[in-house]
Chain A
Amino acid sequence: MIAAVIQFFEQHPLLWTFVKAVVLASFTLMIPLAVIWIERKVAGFIQSRLGPLHVGPHGTLQTVADALKLLLKEDIVPDGADKRFFYIAPYIAFISTVLSFMVLPFAPGWVALEMNVAVLFVIGVSLFNVVSILMAGWSSNNKYSLLGGLRAVAQLLSYEIPMVLSVLAVVFYTGSLSLTEIVEYQVKHGWNIWHPPIMIAALIYFICALAEINRTPFDLPEAESELVSGFNTEYSGMRFAFFFASEFANNFFITAFAAALFFGGWDGPILPPIVWTFLKVFVMIFVFMWVRWTPPRLRIDQILRFAWQLLVPVSLVNLLFAIALGVK
């Protein structure tokens, strides 16, 4: 039976691709539901309250209920908005997230698209996110959104550079641009995180990741108190949900990417590989949330100064070390 199914899909590769795309897109939509629930529970735990409790056991269905509510809400487009850009911006954000999930290895063989330049691909598509934020901020025709959008672009572009440099350190160290190969290298030689230059790269990656997914202390683009949630102020209903979902899916992706680069991906004893991947991802997500609910947020000029004056030079020097120490 299974063999027959496999044979069928081998004969129709296009259909197989379609199936994979659907599975991946739904996965990307489902992940935020879980992550948001965890976020609420963790926030409740940190702020000495309970978090969602009533919809489903321990409030597990709360996010589903919220998603349904957003689905049923009116889709409001401001009169002065640049309609075309306003319509497509959330989808671009979401597509960029789905695309980056495409090359992510969850376990040996569990990857939608085996690509030998996966790292490059991820960096490329994640930049679409910046475009979508700028589009949303600009087309909303709202001054708060514009400020939020501009801030977001300045911040994301600044942090993209040290992030890419720290990822490059891993690439030079392991000698591969393929995520699967990077993980396999770690299965053989031990996790990258234990090697000094990569340790620093991981630290820089962690800081930049916080900035990339707009989390405190770098959550300026959507600074609630001053910009009324910034670039997505004017969005409502499903369009807002797409921004929201892509942000939380990004949260998942950026940690899964880190797991593959630094923490040996699916590598781990006893438990099956897929469990290890998810375990590592959720531990990192917890750390992200911990940071989010503790310190205040920085100011845009402080954030940019931090990126350009500290992170970029350090990651450049670190990259040289990684090249010197890495495989030839």
Chain B
Amino acid sequence: MPVSPEKQSTLSTVEILSQGMVINVGPQHPSTHGVLRLILTLDGEQILHCEPVIGYLHRGLEKMMERRPYRHNIPFTDRLDYLAALSNNLGICQCIERLGGVEVPERAKYIRVLLMELQRIASHLVFLGTFGTDLGATTMFLYAFRERELVLDLLEECTGARLTYNWIRVGGVPDDLPDGFAEKVLAFVKVFRQRLKEYDQLLTRNRIFRSRTQNIGVLPKDLALAYGTSGPVLRASGVAYDIRKVDPYEVYDRVEFDVPVFDRGDVWARYLVRMEEMHQSLRIIEQVLRDMPDGPVQTKLPKIFKPPAGIAYSRVESPRGELSFMMVSDGSPNPVRVHIRAPSFVNLSVLPCLLEGAKVADLVAILGSIDVVLGEIDR
């Protein structure tokens, strides 16, 4: 017998309505990397809905940059992605160089690439360490930070700082490499190759680790492209897109390296991409040290730098993905408009899709595998 519409409506109210439990994760929470807040709706251990809330670290950097001469803006970029400050320095310097038509000496280009890859290793080690802790492998954290210390020592010797380097300049780098730096870097490369094997033994081959990462948080290729993700997140979804290859800057077209790509699109693939990238960075470092020419490291620029009116856009492959700067000049000493395309911001936007239907315990694995830095999301 067909049920009348009225009857149907009364029937449907009989259904037991189960409301999800709303749980607030962050901004102070041990597993949100930085001041990220997630409002989760849970059904038991299952995540029904996730709403990221950002902006706790907003400083208005883009606006602040418009009030200062071009070269005074470089220190601001240290505070964007504070785990890869040199990549940001390079990003803004490239943009200003493009705007003003500044040529960079050969040696400076090689030094930049060398520092970029050291920075990439340092950043990926933070990912590795925190990712391990998120999954309960606390020892991984200390191992990764032990090696990061070696990189930071190198960078400190070269730049004088350990976190906010502020070391790339428009038209080159401020100073040549210190004496004996190449030998020290090569010694590190040798040690680090061994340590990477150690990580593989501790984590990559671990059954528990695999069962926690494989087929978790799968990001399909089309979704990854639709959201505009970049960096390891995109490459783990099967798209071979690396700015160092598709739009080579500095001397990346002169060094040999592979872009690791995995098709799985899960947490495991994102982990593998980063592990493999560290191997490739070591390769690049060796080649750069071998081929580095002698010569000046900086181009002379006028005291008051006024690029001609126009727009410049430049992009670099930061450890997190495609980092771009856009600057508009009207011929005055200050930029008129600055925009930063932060890779973490775009990558984070897929998080709600990945979390829907996942378990609470997978939240930390998925969030960790996207590897966001809130400094550049909130700007």
A interface residues with partner B (beta carbon < 8 Å): 43, 46-49, 143-144, 147, 151, 216-217, 219-220, 223-228, 293-302
Contacts and interface: CB of A to CB of B under 8 A. Distances in A.
A237 B360 CA distance: 29
Interface string B28-65: 01110000000000000100000000000000000000
B142 A225 contact: no
Contacts of B272: none
Nearest to A218: B136
Nearest to B140: A296
Contacts of B31: 225-226
B362 A299 contact: yes
B45 A47 contact: no
Contacts of B305: none
A299 B23 CA distance: 19
21 contacts: A43-B138, A47-B138, A143-B21, A143-B23, A144-B23, A147-B360, A151-B45, A216-B137, A217-B136, A220-B361, A225-B134, A226-B361, A226-B363, A227-B360, A228-B29, A295-B208, A295-B209, A296-B212, A297-B136, A298-B211, A302-B212
Interface in B171-202: 202
Contacts of B206: 295-296
Nearest to A217: B208
Contacts of B45: 147, 151, 300-301
B364 interface: yes
Given A47-B139, A47-B143, A293-B139, A301 B212 contact: no
A38 B101 CA distance: 63
Given A295-B206, A298-B212, A225 B360 contact: no
Contacts of A147: 23, 45, 360
B135 interface: yes
Q: Which one of B134, B136, B137 has the highest number of Cβ atoms from chain A below 10 Å of its Cβ?
A: B136
Q: Which one of A151, A217, A226, A227 has the highest number of Cβ atoms from chain B below 10 Å of its Cβ?
A: A226
Interface in B188-237: 202-203, 206, 208-209, 211-212
Nearest to A298: B208
B132 interface: yes
A227 to B, nearest CB: 8
B143 A225 contact: no
Interface of B: 21, 23, 29-31, 45, 132-139, 142-143, 146, 202-203, 206, 208-209, 211-212, 359-364
Contacts of A43: 138
Contacts of B209: 295-296
B77 to A, nearest CB: 30
Q: Which one of A147, A217, A225 has the highest number of Cβ atoms from chain B below 10 Å of its Cβ?
A: A225
A216 B139 CA distance: 12
A64 to B, nearest CB: 24
A294 B133 contact: no
Given A300-B361, A301-B359, A302-B211, 8 more contacts: A48-B143, A144-B23, A147-B23, A147-B360, A219-B136, A295-B136, A298-B211, A300-B45
A224 B30 contact: yes
Contacts of B139: 46-47, 293-294
A296 B30 contact: no
Nearest to B29: A228
B137 A299 contact: no
Contacts of B138: 43, 47, 293
B256 to A, nearest CB: 34
Contacts of B359: 299-301
Contacts of B136: 216-217, 219, 223-225, 295-297
A228 B30 CA distance: 7
Contacts of A295: 136-137, 206, 208-209
A47 B142 contact: yes
Nearest to A219: B136
Contacts of B362: 299
A156 B74 CA distance: 55
Contacts of B137: 216, 294-297
A197 to B, nearest CB: 26
Given A217-B136, A301-B45, A226 B360 contact: yes
A27 to B, nearest CB: 30
Given A47-B142, A226-B364, A297 B135 contact: yes
A299 B29 contact: no
A300 B203 CA distance: 20
B1 to A, nearest CB: 42
B142 A49 contact: yes
A43 to B, nearest CB: 8
B146 A48 contact: yes
B265 to A, nearest CB: 19
Nearest to B209: A296
A217 to B, nearest CB: 5
Instruction: List 7 tightest A-B contacts by C-beta distance, closest first.
Output: A297-B136, A296-B135, A296-B137, A47-B142, A225-B31, A299-B361, A296-B136
A314 B133 CA distance: 32
A155 to B, nearest CB: 12
A301 B44 CA distance: 12
A245 to B, nearest CB: 22
Contacts of A300: 45, 359, 361
A56 to B, nearest CB: 24
Contacts of B203: 296
Q: Which one of B31, B138, B206, B362 has the highest number of Cβ atoms from chain A below 10 Å of its Cβ?
A: B138
Contacts of B135: 225, 296-297
Contacts of A301: 45, 359
A225 B212 contact: no
A223 B361 CA distance: 9
A48 B138 CA distance: 12
B44 to A, nearest CB: 8
Contacts of B360: 147, 226-227
Contacts of B208: 217, 295-298
Contacts of B211: 298-299, 302
A82 B16 CA distance: 27
A216 B133 CA distance: 12
A224 B132 CA distance: 12
